Each structure stands twice: as C-alpha cells, then as structure tokens.
C-alpha cells in the first residue's frame, strides 16, 4: 500500500505575470471572490461619483428628492456596464443586454432599498445632509454594497459552467 509520505514531492508551479497577466489566475479560487468584491467596490466608488454628479446636476431642475431618485438609476446603469465588462467579465452573460440590465436592477433592488432609505432618512433628520447631499449619498452607497455584490454575483453574473 502506498502512503502519502511515499509519493514524490510536488514542486510548486511558478506563475510568470508576463505569461499570466490576469490577476484572478494569480490567486487561489477562494480569493477570486475577494478580488471580485474589491472590483465591485471600485465600480461602486465610480457609481458614487456618477450618483453624486447626477444629483448635483439635476437638483436645480428637479429638486433634491426627484434628482436623488433618478441619480440612482443613472449610477446603477453605469455600474452594470462596468461590472459586466470588468468585475464579472468571465461570468455568464445570459440573455439580451436589456434582460441582463433588468436582472441587475432587480437583483440590486435590496441594495436600492437600503441605499435610498439611508439617504432619505439622513435628508429628513440631518439638515447638513440636505445642504451637502454627498454625505447622505456616501452612507447610502456603503449600506447597499454587500447586498448588491451577493445578489449580482448569484442572480445576474453567474459562474460559467
């Protein structure tokens, strides 16, 4: 009978970053999810910029409440595009672009509820947040991050099999 100690040692495989430039290939699969979460967070940071920029651009025309509502959809749509092209580029992209965009908005509805609940609560309770909406928007973006990542990964950008 051959035991584990009788088998020949296996030399670790060196990974040449010039040959394997993809960061996901450099980390074990358990860290792949962490890398995706970091990317998702970076995209969320860009989404925060799109969200805040849209609020500040539309506020004089539509008022704070409506500008804040519309800005979420602008930011979520931009985030969907970047997440599709970067964060989840190796995942399945089932259905049409429109169907996937709708799935993304639907999957992120829990994050939307957390996000905008926090934003509107801060608008109603902290006058400084009305004067500087970016403060409330930052809290809102952070509150929806984990839910949005988990649901996007599971329902929108499925692992290719």
**pTM greater than 0.75 (yes/no):** no
- Mean pLDDT in the chain? 83
pLDDT of residue 47: 93
The pLDDT score that the predictor gives to residue 144 is 86
59-90 per-position pLDDT tens digit: 999 999 999 999 999 999 999 999 999 998 88
Would the pLDDT of 20 be above 50?
no
pLDDT at 14: 47
Handedness of CA 146, 89, 102, 58 (dihedral sign): positive
pLDDT given for residue 7 in this prediction:
52
pLDDT value at 12 more than 70: no
In the block, residue with structure tokens 């980390």? 27
pLDDT above 80 (res 91): no
pLDDT of residue 157: 85
Residue 101 pLDDT class (50, 70, 90 cuts): very high
Determine the pLDDT at residue 45.
93
d(CA 119, CA 134): 9
CB atoms within 10 A of CB 98: 8
Alpha carbons 54 and 41: distance in angstroms, whole number: 19
Where exactly are the structural domains of the chain? 31-156
């Amino acid at each position: 009978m051959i035991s584990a100690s009788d088998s020949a040692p296996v030399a670790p495989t060196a990974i040449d970053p010039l040959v394997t430039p993809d960061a996901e290939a450099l980390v074990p699969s358990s860290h792949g999810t962490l890398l995706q979460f970091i990317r998702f967070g970076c995209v969320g940071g860009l989404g925060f910029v799109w969200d805040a920029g849209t609020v500040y651009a539309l506020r004089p025309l539509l008022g704070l409440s409506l500008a804040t509502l519309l800005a979420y959809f602008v930011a979520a749509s931009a985030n969907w595009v970047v997440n599709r092209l970067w964060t989840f580029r190796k995942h399945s992209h089932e259905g049409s672009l429109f169907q996937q965009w709708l799935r993304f908005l639907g999957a992120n509805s829990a994050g939307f509820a957390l996000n905008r609940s926090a934003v509107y609560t801060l608008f109603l309770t902290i006058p400084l947040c009305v004067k500087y909406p970016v403060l409330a928007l930052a809290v809102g973006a952070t509150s929806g991050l984990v839910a949005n990542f988990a649901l996007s990964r599971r329902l929108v950008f499925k692992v290719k099999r």
